Amino acid sequence: MLRTVLLGPPGAGKGTQAVRIAEKYDVPHISTGDIFRKNIKEGTPLGKKAKEYMDKGELVPDDLVVEIATTRLLEDDCKNGFLLDGFPRTVYQAEKLDEFLKANESKLDLVINLEVGNEELIRRLTGRRICKSCGASYHVVTIPSKKEGVCDLCGGELVQRADDTEATVTNRIEVYEAQTEPLIGYYTEVGIIANIDGTIGLDSVFQSIVTAIGE
């Protein structure tokens, strides 16, 4: 049984660690982005509401995000725990999540916060390259292709995504700091946060998470 939230700025490595945590503890990895896409694709009432905001380029309101996320937590595969990624994003959402869990005689066990400095985040994200043809992912420093600008797998052109430029990355980090960093203070007060150094290598980060979970 593990009920946890994964926090960390863009580029901190949440996606990689989430897969490993979910696998080890046999809990569903619940990404709010995935839930939104699923609800929109299936045309659920919640999905239709969310799509209205997204089509206008507006943020989905907190209460709707809470409703969509907590509805997912009622599904059978969450009976023995869950890993939330991308929710909660604000203190208000965290308070609503606590209320929901309490009403369902449950609570969070741990909040895992991956810490990576802004300079390192920018280096990680601006160095990412994607193959235009097959979608393979590279990094100019950590996972370079054998021939610069050319995919090892299919020979396609490697490009930088529009949201991986330094200006865009810096903006994404600023948005995270403004919206989500207050959550760190909230969960620190509750006493269930584990701050993990996200710069020590994938395996070492995962081992630190396992140690923090204590199983």
Q: What is the 3-state secondary structure (H, E, C) of 111-163?
A: EEEEECCHHHHHHHHHCEEEECCCCCEEECCCECCCECCECCCCCCEEECCHH
**Catalytic hit among 20, 24, 51, 172:** 172
For the question of residue 161 being annotated catalytic, the response is: yes
Q: For residue 60, which of 77, 37, 78, 76 has the smallest C-alpha distance?
A: 37
**Cα(132)–Cα(116) distance, rounded to whole angstroms?**
29
For the question of residue 72 being annotated catalytic, the response is: no
**Cα(130)–Cα(159) distance, rounded to whole angstroms?**
5
List CB contacts of 19: < 8 A, sequence separation 6 or more. Answer: 29
Q: Which residues, in sequence order, are bridge partners of residue 214?
A: none
**Cα(50)–Cα(64) distance, rounded to whole angstroms?**
7
**Catalytic hit among 3, 14, 123, 124:** 14
**Catalytic hit among 37, 38, 102, 161:** 161
Backbone angles phi, psi at 3, to 5 degrees: -115, 110
For the question of residue 124 being annotated catalytic, the response is: no
**Catalytic hit among 72, 123, 124, 128:** 128
Q: What is the chain's length? A: 215
**Catalytic hit among 72, 89, 124, 129:** 89
Enumerate the active-site residues.
14, 89, 128, 161, 172
